[in-house]
């Protein structure tokens, strides 16, 4: 329908960007971007009157997203009015004007991301005005012009993401331009940086990207920290047990390289959600227990010491500690934490004890005794 309608309206439409790149690399193609030389919103509206799919429009950018369910999965197509962008100052949002496909491709980040295919009835050649096909073959990431990273420093994080994901290298002059662009990261709003950083940390290649970010000086510039090689191994070992926690794991390990105050400041700066902010706070509080955990503790004492901490923080932190600490944390998480306390506040009330601050002490002491008894009865679990 789309092809027929576009031909009828004399609208030239092109599939562009990441989906062409991934199709040529024989990688799974994600969301599809369609550039329209004309009004993309009007085209999307015409589409959804015929096919009642979900429509979201973004008039200031002349873009629209149409989504539908395909075999239970939500698929979306972004329709973009071909546009030209100019940057009023470094790291600022661009000024947008409607234009032709060539202008739209020229505003993009890397040569491998500005390939296009015209939507047509017969097969057509790949449109490649910036020699992206050669770079795709050679495994190179190359910017289109010298000011690219200064205009939009988030492209530094995008370069990292593609380099790690596709196992590509920076073309040498792009590598130099990236170094020159690093100081401009400070001028970019944290929300825009996090938008890209969050994507990077959620990819399967996140830990590789962090190693590269360290090597390229991006981490130092972005949050004043490092990613030592040893953390790669630790992070990889943690993932099988915590498959949905990659972002939290990478952020915690990264923040563990900073002082408690600096780590909290970075976490707040990027506006990370409360559970991650709390996890960063707990990480540093846990560090103060390291000396105690390096001696063998009774089950009750271990439980009392570790119960204020989230299991995720305990697991990630343990991976950075001695075998004895790791053993004690594993014992706490697997054997002690799941045990429900036998004594409750209601029991104390039934015993005629008036509710008050001593409840906490009494309940904690009763739980400690209960767990010590459990450990004595189950020595094989220790």
CB of 150 or CB of 329, closer to ligand ATP: 150
For residue 380, give the DSSP letter.
G
Instruction: Please give, one letter per residue, the 3-state secondary structure of 16-85.
Output: ECHHHHHHHCCCCCCCEEEEECCCHHHHHHHHHHHCCCEEEEEHHHCEEEEEEEECCEEEEEEEEECEEE
State the minimum distance, in angstroms, from the CB of residue 78 to ligand ATP. Answer: 8
Exposed/middle/buried for 231, CB within 10 Å: 0-12, 13-18, 19+? buried
CB of 157 or CB of 280, closer to ligand ATP: 157
CB of 143 or CB of 371, closer to ligand ATP: 143
State the minimum distance, in angstroms, from the CB of residue 148 to ligand ATP. Answer: 8
State the minimum distance, in angstroms, from the CB of residue 112 to ligand ATP. Answer: 8
State the minimum distance, in angstroms, from the CB of residue 235 to ligand ATP. Answer: 21
CB of 17 or CB of 300, closer to ligand ATP: 17
State the minimum distance, in angstroms, from the CB of residue 29 to ligand ATP. Answer: 9
CB within 8 A of 130, min separation 6: which ones? 105, 106, 111, 114, 144
State the minimum distance, in angstroms, from the CB of residue 17 to ligand ATP. Answer: 3
CB of 102 or CB of 363, closer to ligand ATP: 102
Which residues in this chain contact ligand ATP in the complex, by CB under 6 A? Answer: 17-18, 30, 33, 108-109, 113-114, 152, 154-155, 158
CB of 18 or CB of 281, closer to ligand ATP: 18
State the minimum distance, in angstroms, from the CB of residue 270 to ligand ATP. Answer: 18
Residue 193 CA, distance from chain mean position: 11
The string over 36-51, giving b where at least 16 C-beta atoms fall within 10 Å of a residue's C-beta and e elsewhere, is: bbbbbbbbbebbeeee
Nearest Cα residue to 92 out of 143, 159, 145, 151: 151
CB of 115 or CB of 254, closer to ligand ATP: 115
CB within 8 A of 227, min separation 6: which ones? 210, 211, 213, 214, 219, 253, 254, 257
d(CA 60, CA 42): 14
State the minimum distance, in angstroms, from the CB of residue 268 to ligand ATP. Answer: 25
CA distances from 147 to 16, 86, 129, 142 (A): 22, 11, 19, 12
CB of 205 or CB of 298, closer to ligand ATP: 205
Q: Which residue is nearest to ligand ATP (CB)?
A: 18
Which residue's entry shows tokens 């105690």? 292
Q: List residues bridging with 70 in a β-sheet.
A: 73
Nearest Cα residue to 94 out of 152, 136, 47, 44: 152
């Amino acid at each position: 329908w789309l092809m027929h309608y576009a031909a009828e309206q004399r609208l030239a439409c092109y599939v562009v960007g990441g989906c062409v790149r991934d199709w040529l690399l024989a990688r799974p193609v994600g969301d599809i971007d369609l550039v329209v030389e004309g009004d993309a919103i009007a085209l999307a509206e015409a589409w959804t009157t015929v096919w009642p799919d979900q429509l979201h429009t973004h008039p200031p950018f002349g873009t629209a997203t149409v989504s539908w369910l395909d075999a239970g999965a939500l698929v979306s197509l972004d329709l973009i009015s071909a546009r030209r962008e100019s940057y009023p100052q470094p790291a600022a949002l661009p000024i947008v004007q409607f234009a032709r496909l060539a202008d739209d491709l020229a505003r993009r980040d890397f040569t491998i991301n500005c390939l296009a295919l015209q939507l047509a009835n017969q097969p057509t050649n790949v449109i490649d005005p910036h020699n992206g096909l050669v770079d795709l073959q050679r495994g190179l990431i190359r910017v289109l012009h010298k000011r690219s990273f200064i205009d939009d420093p988030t492209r530094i994080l995008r370069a990292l993401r593609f380099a790690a994901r596709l196992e590509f290298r920076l073309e040498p002059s792009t590598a130099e331009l990236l170094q020159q662009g690093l100081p401009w990261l400070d001028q970019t709003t944290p929300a825009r940086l996090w938008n890209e950083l969050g994507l990077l940390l959620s990819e399967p290649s996140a830990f590789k990207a962090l190693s590269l970010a360290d090597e390229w000086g991006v981490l130092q510039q972005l949050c004043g920290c490092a990613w030592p090689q040893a953390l790669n191994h630790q992070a990889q070992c943690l993932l099988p047990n915590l498959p949905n926690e990659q972002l939290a794991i990478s952020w915690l390990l990264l923040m563990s390289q900073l002082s408690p105050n600096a780590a909290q400041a970075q976490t707040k700066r990027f506006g990370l959600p409360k559970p991650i902010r709390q996890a960063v706070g707990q990480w540093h509080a846990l560090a103060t227990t390291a000396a105690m955990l390096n001696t063998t503790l009774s089950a009750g004492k271990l439980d009392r010491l570790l119960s204020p901490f989230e299991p995720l923080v305990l697991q990630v932190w343990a991976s950075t500690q001695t075998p004895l600490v790791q053993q004690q944390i594993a014992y706490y998480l697997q054997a002690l934490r799941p045990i429900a306390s036998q004594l409750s506040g209601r029991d104390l009330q039934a015993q005629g004890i008036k509710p008050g601050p001593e409840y906490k002490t009494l309940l904690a002491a009763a739980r400690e005794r209960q767990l010590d008894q459990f450990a004595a009865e189950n020595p094989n679990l220790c």
